[in-house]
Amino acid sequence: MLFDRLMRPALYRLNDNDPEKVHERTLRVLSRLADVPPALAAARRRFAVSDPVTLFGLRFANRVGLAAGMDKDGRALAAWPALGFGFVEVGTVTRLAQPGNPKPRLFTLPHSDAVINRMGFNNSGAAALAQRLAAKGKPDIPLGVSIGKSKVTPLEEAVADYQESLRALYPWADYFAINVSSPNTPGLRALQDREALAELLAELARTGEELAAAAGKPATPLLVKVAPDLTDDALAELLEVCDEHGVSGIIATNTTLGRDGLVADEAAVGAETGGLSGRPLTERAREVVEFVHRHTGGTVPIIGVGGISTGDDARRMLDAGASLIQLYTGFALHGPGLVRGINRALAGSRSDDAGRPASPRTP
């Protein structure tokens, strides 16, 4: 691919082989696309694929979304539909602005087709994102907002922390992703435990219903993003809690603390702490999607994410039970041609009900 052979190496040379500088420069360029309508239109003609699907009462332009982490603060919202995405998830955003973990904190492993990050929810805060959305508007595709706990907030105050982010962003989100599974915020994954998760979901659902009633609209769907490192028993318990509190869907999965699947010559980089994403996560993410689909009897919609870098990966994720998929590492490493290729593969091969839950729960 042209991107792999020429564009990606050039980006890294221009940015001192620093993946985070590449990420930042890419966002700056994409954020300017909205100010150049001819460029935006040209990108849309080249990359956009119409293959609509309806889920959660929302019409998605196609099944391929941008995962949280790429555009945390919603800086390039006009660009994502032009690059072929059918929906976009911003964040993870926290109530308080925070710088994230010390640098370096992002590492590419090109031979393993993988990335390790320990970013630590670096973002400008929920209020700043709300202000940007108020000023710039939403994209013309569904907008998900991933919310997480501020690092300085004690676990016992986590519920209030999430609630404030929910309140600030409720007018703008088409769905919320409740991130309790990042490995890069100390103690966050403890919120996947039954008692903590039950309290969090109950209060977020209550807050959402109050906000929806005040606005005279249906409640915004709440989805829970799960870790790939949970045991089957722990995942089953989490799904029971989600069912008890009417969660609209599951996002499977976040990054992993495991290091299986890395090639030998990248072992030194692989020793860096943080969450691993990309090709080494492909099989495990699909296993989790399959488990969720089977355990819930196909009644809970699933967004499948993790190690999707080919049309076949995406097809198999849908076959495992996902209704939608998301990209991050694959897009970062291989460019927008991957989005177009996957969308064309899915549009050309799916049946009317492929990858859809039998009786999906809707809010």
Q: What is the pLDDT of residues 94-136, one digit of tens each?
A: 999 999 999 999 999 999 999 999 999 999 999 999 999 999 9
Instruction: Establish whether 275 is an annotated binding residue.
Output: no
Instruction: Establish whether 253 is an annotated binding residue.
Output: yes
Torsion of CA 183, 199, 217, 304, to 10 degrees: 30
Q: Which of 125, 104, 124 is nearest to 116 (CA)?
A: 104
Q: Is the pLDDT of residue 355 over 50?
A: no
Q: What pLDDT band is residue 169 in, cutting at 50, 70 and 90?
A: very high
pTM of this structure: 0.92
Instruction: Establish whether 329 is an annotated binding residue.
Output: yes
Instruction: Establish whether 254 is an annotated binding residue.
Output: yes
Output the pLDDT for position 13.
43
Q: What is the pLDDT of residues 172-201, one digit of tens each?
A: 999 999 999 998 898 888 898 989 999 999
Task: Tell me the percentage of the chain whose pLDDT exceeds 90.
Answer: 84
Mean pLDDT of 63-69: 97
Instruction: Establish whether 179 is an annotated binding residue.
Output: yes
Where is average pLDDT lowest: 95-109, 111-125, 237-251, 343-357?
343-357
Instruction: Establish whether 15 is an annotated binding residue.
Output: no
Burial 19-57 (b: 16+ CB within 10 A, else e): bbbbbeebbeebbebbeeeeebeebeeebbbebebebbe
Instruction: Establish whether 347 is an annotated binding residue.
Output: no
Mean pLDDT of 147-152: 96
The pair of structure tokens assigned to 106 is 């992002």
Domain 37-349: CATH class, spelled out:
alpha beta
Query: Domain locations in the chain?
Result: 37-349
Q: What is the pLDDT of residues 296-335, one digit of tens each?
A: 999 999 999 999 999 999 999 999 999 999 999 999 999 8
Q: Is the pLDDT of residue 264 over 60?
A: yes
Instruction: Establish whether 225 is an annotated binding residue.
Output: yes
Choosing from 112, 150, 182, 323, the catalytic residue is 182
- Rounded to the nearest integer, the mean pLDDT of the chain is 91
Output the pLDDT for position 276.
97
- Residue whose tokens read 């370096």: 104
Query: 324-327 and 249-252 as β-strands: parallel, antiparallel, unpaired?
Result: unpaired
Active-site residue 182, yes or no?
Answer: yes
Instruction: Establish whether 91 is an annotated binding residue.
Output: no
Alpha-carbon span 226 to 46, nearest angstrom:
34
Count of residues in the chain: 363
Q: What pLDDT band is residue 250 in, cutting at 50, 70 and 90?
A: very high
Residues 307, 308, 310, CA angle at the centre, nearest 5°? Answer: 135
The pair of structure tokens assigned to 83 is 């690059």
Instruction: Establish whether 161 is an annotated binding residue.
Output: no
Q: What pLDDT band is residue 35 in, cutting at 50, 70 and 90?
A: confident
Instruction: Establish whether 184 is an annotated binding residue.
Output: yes
